C-alpha cells in the first residue's frame, strides 16, 4: 500500500452500511420508494456471502402465517415479551410482525426453496414461528436483490466511523472507512445513513480459545460494528446489558431448534433425568410470574441447564437417537446443520457420533451482544407513526436519536426475535423512512466537516505506522514492548469480559465490585488501543473491528452495572442483586456516550405495554 492512501469521495442520498439482511432490506426498499435517489451499499466483505447468514440457514424463525390465520402480530408481541421477561418495545416488535410475511413471500418468489407441508400446502412449520427452508443460498439470493437495488456496492470497504454534519449538531452527514484490498480512504457523503452492521461475537472469551476460537456460535465477522459505529456518534443505546447466551450442541454450536421443536427430541442430564421443570419451579422465587411464560423463556432454560452443570450432573445430552426413526427425519437433522452450521457435521464425523445411534452433548455458549435474536440490545429508535406512543416517536420510523441516522437488524434495540426475515423487514422499514427523510430535507443538505475527516484519516491508518516503527525495535516474533497486535488486544478484552462481566468461566455471574474492576481494566485497554499495531491492511481491519468491540464492551459493562437486578437468569446474574425486581426495573436502560468528554450518561426509559 502506498504511504499516502488515495482519498475517494462518494456522494449519495442514502448510504447503507453493512450488507447483511438488515442492509439488503434497506437497499431494496429505499430503491422502491426512492427511484431517483442515489443509493450506495458499503460492506467490509463481499455482499454475496456477508453477515450472519453468510453460511446459510435451515429455517426462517420469524413468520406469522397471517394468510392462513396461524398467528397474528399481537401473538408475536406476547411471545417476544414473554421471552425477554417483559422488556421489549411492543411497537417495534408489532411493526416487524405485521410486515414480515410479505418479506418471506418475496423471498419465495425470488427463488428461496421453502419447504411445504404436502397435505396442507402451507409452509412446513418447525415451530410456532419457524418455517423450514433449504437455505444454503439464502444470502446469495437476497444479495442479488440488494445488488439490483443500488447505484453502487462497495465491497471490502470497512466503515470505521460515522460523520457528523458540520452545520447542525446531532445530524448525520456520512461515514468514512478504508478499502481492505488497496488501502484507499473512502469518504461517503450522504443525506441519510442506515446502519445494518452486525452485533458482537468475541466480546467475551469463547469456549474454544485455540484454533477453534473462530467457531463461535455467532459469526466472528460480526464485530459489534452496529454499536461501535453508533456509540461514538452519540446515539442513545438501550438494553446493552441484555447479552445472550445460547444452549447449543457442544463445540460445533449446531442449532437445537429443529431438534426440540420439529423432531421432538429432549435433553437430559448425564443420568437421563429431564431436569428443567424442577428448576423452573425454584425460579419462581426469583423471577415470579415470568417463570410461567409459555414457551419457557430462553434464558430460563439456560438457567436450568447451568444448575445441572454446576451440580456436576453433566454432560447434558440431546437425545437425537430417540427421534431419528425414519430416513426422512435423519435427512432433516443433517440438513439442519449442513445448511447453517457445517462445523457440527465436522464434529460428528470426527468424533464418530451418528445422531441416529448416539446422543450429543449440549452446552451454554459464551455471551453475545445482539439486537436480532432472543435479546434486544441496540439503539433507541423512533417507532412506526401509526402505532408508537408519543415518547417512542420523533419523526421517522427506525431513526435513532441522531437525525438522519437509521438502523436495522442488530442495530436497533428493544425488538427481539427479528432473526433473518425480521432484520430484512426492519431494513425495509428503515429504507422507506430514510427516503421520506431525504424528501423532507429538500435543499437542506448536510455537509461533512473537513477537519473531522482529516483527523479520522490520520487515526484510521495509525496502526500501520505503529507497527512499522515498533517492529524494527526487535528481532522477530510477536512480543513488542511498544505495541499490541489486534489479536492480543482482542484476547485481553475477551478475558476481562469473561472474568469480570459475567462470562462462562464464572457461570455468567458478576457484581458491582467485579464490574467496577472490569471497567478499570477496560480503561487501560482503551488507552493501549492508541498503540495497536497492524502489519497489513487485513490486520488494520482487525484493529478497527477491535475498536468497535471495545466500545460495545464498555457499554455492556456500564449497562450491567446500572441495572441493579437479575432480569434474565441464564443470560447473566448480578450476585449482589440476585432477584428480578419489577417494582424498580421494569424499564429500559439507556445510555449516551459523549465522544468529546468521554463521559457516559445512564438513565431509564419507560416500557409501555399495549398488547394485552
Residues 504-533 that bind other proteins (CB under 8 A): none
477 binds other proteins (CB under 8 A): no
DSSP for residue 223: B
Which residues in 195-224 contact other proteins (CB under 8 A)?
Answer: 208-216, 219-221
471: left (phi over 0), alpha (psi -120 to 50) or beta: alpha
Please identify, using beta-carbon distances, which residue of 430 and 550 lies nearer to other proteins.
430
Which residues in 247-266 contact other proteins (CB under 8 A)?
Answer: 251
**Minimum gap (Å) between residue 439 Cβ and other proteins:** 7
Site string for other proteins, 229-248 (x = CB under 8 A): --------------------
496 binds other proteins (CB under 8 A): no
9 binds other proteins (CB under 8 A): no
391 binds other proteins (CB under 8 A): yes
4 binds other proteins (CB under 8 A): no
345 binds other proteins (CB under 8 A): yes
CA atoms within 13 A on the CB side of 567: 29
Task: Give which of 555, 428, 558, 545 is closest to 486, Cα–Cα.
Answer: 545
Torsion of CA 14, 19, 25, 27, to 10 degrees: 30
73 binds other proteins (CB under 8 A): yes
Please identify, using beta-carbon distances, which residue of 279 and 398 lies nearer to other proteins.
398
Per-residue cell: 166: 458540520
**Minimum gap (Å) between residue 51 Cβ and other proteins:** 8
Q: Which stretch binds other proteins (CB under 8 A): 141-149, 255-263, 522-530, 584-592?
A: 141-149
Q: Which stretch binds other proteins (CB under 8 A): 9-17, 341-349, 458-466, 523-531?
A: 341-349
Q: Give the sign of the dihedral formed by CA 98, CA 103, CA 109, CA 111.
A: negative
* Under 8 Å between Cβ of 111 and 238: no
Please identify, using beta-carbon distances, which residue of 169 and 214 lies nearer to other proteins.
214
180 binds other proteins (CB under 8 A): yes
Which residues in 42-71 contact other proteins (CB under 8 A)?
Answer: 44-46, 48-51, 54-55, 66-67
Angle at 229 between CA 224 and CA 232, to 5 degrees: 120
* Under 8 Å between Cβ of 229 and 17: yes
**Hey, is 2 helix, strand or coil?**
coil
Q: Which stretch binds other proteins (CB under 8 A): 95-103, 287-295, 363-371, 451-459?
A: 95-103
99 binds other proteins (CB under 8 A): yes
* Chain centroid to CA 140: 20
**Among all residues, which ones are annotated catalytic?**
61, 126, 217, 248, 336, 373, 420
The helices-and-strands tally (H runs, E runs) of the chain is 16, 19
**Minimum gap (Å) between residue 429 Cβ and other proteins:** 7
Per-residue cell: 150: 443500488
Q: Which residue has the cell 439503539?
A: 379
Which residues in 118-137 contact other proteins (CB under 8 A)?
Answer: 134, 136-137
328 binds other proteins (CB under 8 A): no
Which residues in 592-611 contact other proteins (CB under 8 A)?
Answer: 606, 608-611
The rounded distance, in Å, linking the Cα atoms of 463 and 405 is 28
* String of DSSP letters for 271-307: TS---HHHHHHHHHHHHGGGGG-SSPPHHHHHHHHHH
Amino acid at each position: 500500500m502506498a504511504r499516502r492512501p488515495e482519498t475517494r469521495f462518494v456522494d449519495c442520498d442514502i448510504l447503507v452500511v453493512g450488507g447483511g439482511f438488515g442492509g439488503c432490506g434497506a437497499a431494496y426498499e429505499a430503491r422502491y420508494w426512492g427511484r431517483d435517489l442515489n443509493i450506495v451499499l458499503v460492506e467490509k466483505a463481499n455482499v454475496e456471502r456477508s453477515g450472519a447468514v453468510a453460511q446459510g440457514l435451515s429455517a426462517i424463525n420469524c413468520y406469522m402465517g397471517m394468510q392462513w390465520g396461524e398467528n397474528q402480530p399481537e401473538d408475536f408481541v406476547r411471545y417476544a415479551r414473554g421471552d425477554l421477561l417483559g422488556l421489549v418495545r411492543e411497537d417495534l416488535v408489532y411493526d416487524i410482525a405485521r410486515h414480515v410475511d410479505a418479506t418471506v413471500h418475496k423471498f419465495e418468489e425470488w427463488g428461496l426453496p421453502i419447504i411445504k407441508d404436502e397435505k396442507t400446502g402451507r409452509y412446513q412449520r418447525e415451530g410456532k414461528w419457524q418455517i423450514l427452508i433449504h437455505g444454503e443460498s439464502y444470502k446469495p439470493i437476497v444479495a442479488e436483490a440488494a445488488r439490483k437495488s443500488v447505484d453502487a456496492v462497495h465491497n471490502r470497504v470497512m466503515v470505521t466511523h460515522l460523520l457528523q454534519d458540520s452545520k447542525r449538531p446531532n445530524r448525520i452527514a456520512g461515514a468514512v472507512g478504508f478499502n481492505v484490498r488497496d488501502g484507499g480512504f473512502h469518504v461517503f457523503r450522504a443525506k441519510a445513513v442506515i446502519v445494518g452492521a452486525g452485533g458482537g461475537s468475541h466480546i467475551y472469551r469463547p469456549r474454544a480459545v485455540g484454533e477453534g476460537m473462530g467457531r463461535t456460535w455467532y459469526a466472528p465477522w460480526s464485530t459489534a460494528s452496529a454499536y461501535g459505529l453508533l456509540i461514538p456518534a452519540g446515539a442513545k443505546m438501550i438494553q446493552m446489558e441484555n447479552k445472550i447466551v445460547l444452549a447449543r450442541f457442544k463445540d460445533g454450536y449446531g442449532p437445537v431448534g429443529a431438534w426440540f421443536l420439529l423432531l421432538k427430541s429432549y435433553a437430559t442430564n448425564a443420568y437421563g433425568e429431564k431436569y428443567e421443570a424442577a428448576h423452573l419451579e425454584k425460579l419462581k422465587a426469583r423471577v415470579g410470574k415470568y417463570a410461567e411464560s409459555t414457551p419457557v423463556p430462553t434464558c430460563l432454560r439456560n438457567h436450568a441447564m447451568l444448575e445441572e452443570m454446576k451440580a456436576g450432573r453433566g454432560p447434558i445430552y440431546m437425545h437425537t437417537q430417540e427421534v431419528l426413526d425414519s430416513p426422512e427425519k435423519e435427512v432433516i437433522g443433517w440438513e439442519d446443520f449442513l445448511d447453517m452450521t457445517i462445523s457440527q457435521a465436522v464434529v460428528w464425523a470426527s468424533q464418530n457420533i451418528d445422531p441416529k445411534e448416539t446422543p450429543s452433548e449440549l452446552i451454554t455458549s459464551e455471551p453475545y451482544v445482539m439486537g436480532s435474536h432472543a435479546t434486544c440490545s441496540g439503539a433507541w429508535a423512533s417507532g412506526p407513526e401509526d402505532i408508537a406512543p408519543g415518547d417512542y416517536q420523533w419523526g421517522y420510523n427506525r431513526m435513532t436519536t441522531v437525525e438522519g441516522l437509521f438502523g436495522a437488524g442488530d442495530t436497533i434495540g428493544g425488538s427481539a426475535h427479528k432473526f433473518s426475515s425480521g432484520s430484512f423487514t426492519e431494513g425495509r422499514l428503515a429504507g422507506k423512512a430514510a427516503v421520506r427523510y431525504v424528501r423532507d430535507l429538500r435543499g437542506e443538505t448536510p455537509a461533512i466537516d473537513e477537519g473531522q475527516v482529516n483527523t479520522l484519516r490520520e487515526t484510521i491508518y495509525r496502526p500501520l505506522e505503529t507497527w512499522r516503527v515498533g517492529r524494527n525495535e526487535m528481532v522477530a516474533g510477536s512480543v513488542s514492548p511498544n505495541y499490541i497486535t489486534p489479536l492480543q488486544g482482542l484476547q485481553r478484552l475477551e478475558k476481562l469480559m469473561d472474568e469480570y462481566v459475567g462470562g462462562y468461566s464464572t457461570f455468567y455471574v458478576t457484581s458491582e465490585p467485579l464490574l467496577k474492576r472490569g471497567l478499570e481494566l477496560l480503561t487501560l485497554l482503551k488507552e493501549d488501543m492508541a498503540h495497536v499495531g497492524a502489519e497489513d491492511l487485513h490486520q488494520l481491519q482487525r484493529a478497527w473491528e477491535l475498536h468497535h468491540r471495545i466500545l460495545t464492551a464498555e457499554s455492556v459493562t456500564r449497562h450491567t452495572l446500572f441495572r441493579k437486578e437479575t432480569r434474565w437468569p441464564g443470560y447473566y446474574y448480578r450476585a449482589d442483586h440476585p432477584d428480578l425486581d419489577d417494582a424498580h426495573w421494569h424499564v429500559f436502560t439507556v445510555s449516551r456516550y459523549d465522544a468529546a468528554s468521554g463521559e457516559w450518561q445512564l438513565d431509564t426509559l419507560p416500557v409501555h405495554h399495549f398488547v394485552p
